[in-house]
């Protein structure tokens, strides 16, 4: 009888400890915001290669037009050395991966998909990402070695223009030795 009591007491103690730990985990989840990928993207854009950051949302009609045109899939496939970040913003935490899968963008080796955990609207929605202002989607930025080379902040991208931006961004953009214009 004493052994059964001890086993029962031990099991009760173990269940109480597990329950307490689970309650703490639930509380931590509610108090600590889900990471947005902002820091990961900040680190990634510092790489020596080219990085494209595309801020979008599945509900955005302009973003949908870009996907339907097939331009993003062609761009990703034509530039395997470029890393593309598709970051769903103002989407109440969703990353939009299912829509990107429909257009065969998800699963490409040079694509990372992230979602901003913030609300879609109101005072708490994000107003900047990776240190850059965000006021419209779709927004597309091209980086090389931590330097912002191009920012398309308002609307649909023309993919021939984006391709030219990528080509131009491969250059060092140094004008050392060139004469200055007279004043």
pLDDT at 22 exceeding the cut of 60: no
The pLDDT assigned to 32 comes to: 43
Find the mean pLDDT for residues 21-50. Answer: 63
Q: Which domain holds residue 87?
A: 38-167
Indicate which CATH number applies to the domain containing 54: 3.40.30.10
Instruction: Specify if 174 maps to a domain.
Output: no
Asked whether residue 2 is assigned to any structural domain, the reply reads: no
Cβ contact 45:140 at 8 Å: no
Residue 1 lies in a domain: no
Give yes or no for a contact between 150 and 167, defined as CB atoms under 8 angstroms apart.
no
Query: Length of the chain, please?
Result: 183
Residue 25 lies in a domain: no
Q: How many domains does the chain have?
A: 1
Query: Does residue 3 lie within any of the structural domains?
Result: no
Q: Which pLDDT does position 33 carry in this prediction?
A: 43
149 in a domain, yes or no?
A: yes
pLDDT, position 19: 53
What are all long-range contacts of 159-164, with beta carbons under 8 Å and residues at least 24 apart?
159/69, 159/71, 159/72, 159/74, 159/75, 162/52, 162/75, 163/75, 163/78, 163/79
Is a pLDDT exceeding 60 seen at residue 31?
A: no
Q: Over 70: is that where the pLDDT of 143 sits? A: yes
Q: What is the pLDDT of residues 115-136, one digit of tens each?
A: 988 877 888 888 888 888 898 9
* From 37-46, 79-88, 163-172, the region with the lowest mean pLDDT: 37-46
Do the domain assignments include residue 122? yes
Residue 10 lies in a domain: no
pLDDT over 50 at 75, yes or no = yes
């Amino acid at each position: 009888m004493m052994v059964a009591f001890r086993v029962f007491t031990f099991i009760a103690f173990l269940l109480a400890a597990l329950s307490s730990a689970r309650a703490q985990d639930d509380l931590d989840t509610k108090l600590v915001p889900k990471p947005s990928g902002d820091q990961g993207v900040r680190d990634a854009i510092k790489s020596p290669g080219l990085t494209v950051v595309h801020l979008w949302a599945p509900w955005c009609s302009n973003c949908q037009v870009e996907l339907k045109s097939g331009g993003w899939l062609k761009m990703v496939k034509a530039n395997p050395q470029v890393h593309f970040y598709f970051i769903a913003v103002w989407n109440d935490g969703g990353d939009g991966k299912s829509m990107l899968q429909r257009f065969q963008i998800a699963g490409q080796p040079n694509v990372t998909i992230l979602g901003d955990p913030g609300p879609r609207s109101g005072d708490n929605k994000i107003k900047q990402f990776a240190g850059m202002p965000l006021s419209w989607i779709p927004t597309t930025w091209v980086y090389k070695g931590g330097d912002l080379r191009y920012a398309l902040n308002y609307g649909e991208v023309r993919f021939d223009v984006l391709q030219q931006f990528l080509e131009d961004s491969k250059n060092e953009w140094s004008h050392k030795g060139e004469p200055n214009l007279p004043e």
